[in-house]
Structure 1
């Protein structure tokens, strides 16, 4: 880069992504607490969040008030963990999952970057399907495949430009979609059918705690990429600002939109989005169109983080030099594959997505516990960032046995409590179908990681590296 380039980039309306997975230099840290808040505020305001909220009243048959209590509780708990991950961004300046190299080793972290990549691809595909459903609810004659392809193209283009365009898009989108959701909530709360459906429903513990767990996983699903955006905050911004701008954006928006989903699911559990048009007429149809368009824009954020993880895996395992060309090609290929998944998965989406969220929770929880214990208790934020990009692993090694063993044992700790369509643990019965595997997994993994690390330190083997 020559000394003539920075002024040219600065004058451009949109900065083309240049840093990719590299640490963000202070001169390029253009983020603000407002931009971070806008990103997370707008990211949750999509039809996928509506559909997720509708699971409470639709699939589990909970009354409206208990559905909202479960959603609020779950999101408040889950967002706390996600925001703690976000607070690491201004200090380290690197993508979230790349930092996993400090806990699992240069190559070991690739396992978790790959898991996160699959997760983001799943969300990209899921958002496309729900956005298509929103369009079909307004224009039944419209071709669903064409809708998916158009929305996918918009998300891919945004992702190709990178962080700066995504940040600016989310800023104004959060205002537009926020007004649409608020208006829908006010109008739909007065629909008589909602009160009737809620009165006929009854509280059940399984449904309540299942929705609470869904709220937790909804927020923790953001944990693997919250630092992808807070890394653009100036270092002097500090962890508190990164934490609260992320936390408030995540909680306010998710509770807001999922609660709308509860109301819609109460009157139309099979197709909650269609209820907007059925009960709110032209206003509901306009909101559906806004939802559909916003989803296409929001999806750029999901794909961006998928690409960050793909680049991390490629650099770690295949020694690929990460350039703008590599990032753009990876973006197009990843977006294309996720679009194909969406085209093939348009059937029974609600059931598949519910299962996806459950499995996601089980695999994310141990990683989250290890990262937070390592960052806040063991290292207290002190990392050798240069070593994270050293293909020998530097001081962190290529495979870190403590992190990997802790993760494996944390997964095993959840098994007796798991509740999935394929497997139900022996503790599910005594607990009356209440899924607490995520709680057990978090506590057990964090404790195991801390004990193993301190044991090795006591024996003067600070990093058991393979």
Structure 2
């Protein structure tokens, strides 16, 4: 059997690959691993806070939960379509953006992706730091944030294999911990009394949809990073369903708890706003059980923060390599980049923790504005224009098929961002059309539809996709020959 056909069952202790193509001989894993990774990544305190925001900013608990579910379905569909690209390409997600924007042009959305990773790493560190401080009395919130940052560096440096292992652990402890919280919630509070008391309001209903859709959509720029080691012949549908189910179910479970927590806490003086982690500990009953729940919070946040650090490191390398033409980087380079990335996120976390809730809401909605056009362009190009055919070597060559700058795609991206401005409803700016909609923010939906509608005919005219998938030299996947049972020759 050839080297290409041989699939290893596990990788080295420390991952060797970074932004380069994963050879077919190193592919391993099953689609179900995507389910546990994304389910575990969503069973965490920041998802609970996102669900709480829907109620805190005016939605009725019942309709807020419905809106969150719709947003998770819509955003999860886009997110999972990105994930399904991983096995086919064998590349990090943002490298594939060079097929749409050009080798240099892809750096434009890459810079925004790096900012996203930093923002989520920082906001996640705030809540995880609170949990660490509850487990280990540190005397200062910053100490908990720093300890959590060190744990993130450890797992992100080890790489892909250990990130997936952490996802499996997070899935198990998340199910146990969040089930216990749900039971305690129904035992200690009259949940039925807070459902349906506020009535339906369209603007806040749309806000709930936007919050959860934004939560899912912001996984798009790195979701394929964690499916790229799957064998190239993995059915796209299985990868899609595994990621979709894991992310949507995990997020909806967490966000539903958050919406109910906020609905119960608000009449009593906004306890949830004042200390989200402490509220969870109090609900658990305190003592040893509370410590275990704080550990659940830390494991869940560690999972998703590792995704941010790992994805952030590869996004920075992708930007750098566009100009240096370097394809491979030593493990120590990952360690250095991850430390630098986490150090910056820790500084941001310590500085921004005072007004965390308000800042986080604005951050999520702002990310929708800049990532919706990127998602739309990337998905339309891969699934409808290129039809899953990419010239992988050309992604690293500014003089190749995709060029250095794809001006039509970049202009379409700029249009996709600009078209959303009149529909924005944010603290810093409210678009002129927003009041006509009762204050509802539909900018993300406008950006998604308009960008796709404009980009498709533009790409059909200007893009030059290959007729077949082009892999690096000597890496074209070969179907394994059929197994033929040996036939014994009669002895005469």
Q: TM-score, normalised by structure 2?
A: 0.87
Q: Report the equivalent of 1:67.
A: 64
Q: 3-state SS of the aligned residue for 2:435?
A: coil
Q: Could you tell me which of 106, 114, 123 is aligned with 1:126?
A: 123
RMSD across aligned C-alpha pairs, in angstroms?
2.2
Q: Report the equivalent of 1:277.
A: 281
Q: Could you tell me which of 76, 81, 84 is aligned with 2:81?
A: 84
Q: Report the equivalent of 2:367.
A: 360
Q: Report the equivalent of 1:442.
A: 448
Q: TM-score, normalised by structure 1?
A: 0.91
8 Å Cα contact 2:62/2:196 also seen in 1: no
Q: Is the alpha carbon distance of 1:457 and 1:173 closer, same or farther for their aligned partners in structure 2, counting shifts above 3 Å?
A: closer
* Greater C-alpha Rg: 2
Report the CA distance between 1:344 and its aligned residue: 1.4
Q: Report the equivalent of 1:48.
A: 46
Q: Report the equivalent of 2:234.
A: 237
Counting helix residues as a fraction of each chain, which structure ranks higher? 1
Q: Is the alpha carbon distance of 1:314 and 1:259 closer, same or farther for their aligned partners in structure 2, counting shifts above 3 Å?
A: same
Q: Is the alpha carbon distance of 1:139 and 1:67 closer, same or farther for their aligned partners in structure 2, counting shifts above 3 Å?
A: farther
Q: Could you tell me which of 184, 189, 194 is aligned with 2:186?
A: 189
1:96 maps to 2:93? yes
Show the 5 A alignment for 1:114-263. Answer: 114-136=111-133, 142-198=139-195, 200-263=197-260
Q: Work out the CA distance in 1 between the residues paired with 2:419 and 2:49.
A: 31
1:326 maps to 2:330? no
Show the 5 A alignment for 1:374-385. Answer: 374-385=381-392
Report the CA distance between 1:364 and its aligned residue: 0.3
Q: Report the equivalent of 2:14.
A: 16
Moved more, 359-368 or 185-194: 185-194
Q: 3-state SS of the aligned residue for 1:190?
A: helix
Q: Is the alpha carbon distance of 1:61 and 1:453 closer, same or farther for their aligned partners in structure 2, counting shifts above 3 Å?
A: closer
How many correspondences in the alignment? 450
8 Å Cα contact 2:69/2:212 also seen in 1: yes
Report the CA distance between 1:199 and its aligned residue: 5.7
Q: Report the equivalent of 1:462.
A: none
**1:231-280 deviation per Cα after TM superposition (whole angstroms, max 9, x unaligned):** 11101212111101100010010000111111211122413433323333
Q: Could you tell me which of 441, 444, 459 is aligned with 1:453?
A: 459
Q: Work out the CA distance in 2 between the residues paired with 1:355 and 1:345.
A: 13
1:348 maps to 2:345? no
Q: 3-state SS of the aligned residue for 2:81?
A: helix
1:337 maps to 2:334? no
8 Å Cα contact 1:96/1:226 also seen in 2: yes
8 Å Cα contact 1:54/1:272 also seen in 2: no
Report the CA distance between 1:102 and its aligned residue: 0.4
Report the CA distance between 1:455 and its aligned residue: 4.2
Report the CA distance between 1:133 and its aligned residue: 2.5
Moved more, 337-346 or 240-249: 337-346
8 Å Cα contact 2:129/2:146 also seen in 1: no
8 Å Cα contact 1:105/1:393 also seen in 2: no
- Segments of structure 1 that go 5 or more residues without pairing to the other structure are 459-466
Report the CA distance between 1:402 and its aligned residue: 1.6
Show the 5 A alignment for 1:407-418. Answer: 407-418=413-424
8 Å Cα contact 1:105/1:398 also seen in 2: yes
Q: Is the alpha carbon distance of 1:118 and 1:431 closer, same or farther for their aligned partners in structure 2, counting shifts above 3 Å?
A: same
Report the CA distance between 1:141 and its aligned residue: 6.6
Q: Is the alpha carbon distance of 1:318 and 1:340 closer, same or farther for their aligned partners in structure 2, counting shifts above 3 Å?
A: farther
- Segments of structure 2 that go 5 or more residues without pairing to the other structure are 266-271, 465-492
Q: 3-state SS of the aligned residue for 1:429?
A: helix
**1:164-217 deviation per Cα after TM superposition (whole angstroms, max 9, x unaligned):** 111112112211121111221122133335444446534322211101011111
8 Å Cα contact 2:153/2:335 also seen in 1: no
Report the CA distance between 1:350 and its aligned residue: 0.5
Q: Work out the CA distance in 2 between the residues paired with 1:357 and 1:206.
A: 17
Q: Is the alpha carbon distance of 1:456 and 1:318 closer, same or farther for their aligned partners in structure 2, counting shifts above 3 Å?
A: closer
Q: Work out the CA distance in 2 between the residues paired with 1:69 and 1:92.
A: 36
Q: Work out the CA distance in 2 between the residues paired with 1:262 and 1:294.
A: 19
Q: Is the alpha carbon distance of 1:23 and 1:370 closer, same or farther for their aligned partners in structure 2, counting shifts above 3 Å?
A: same
Report the CA distance between 1:66 and its aligned residue: 1.1
Q: Work out the CA distance in 2 between the residues paired with 1:50 and 1:102.
A: 36
Q: Could you tell me which of 298, 301, 311 is aligned with 2:317?
A: 311
Q: Report the equivalent of 1:296.
A: 302
Q: 3-state SS of the aligned residue for 2:434?
A: coil
8 Å Cα contact 2:122/2:348 also seen in 1: yes
Show the 5 A alignment for 1:33-44. Answer: 33-44=31-42
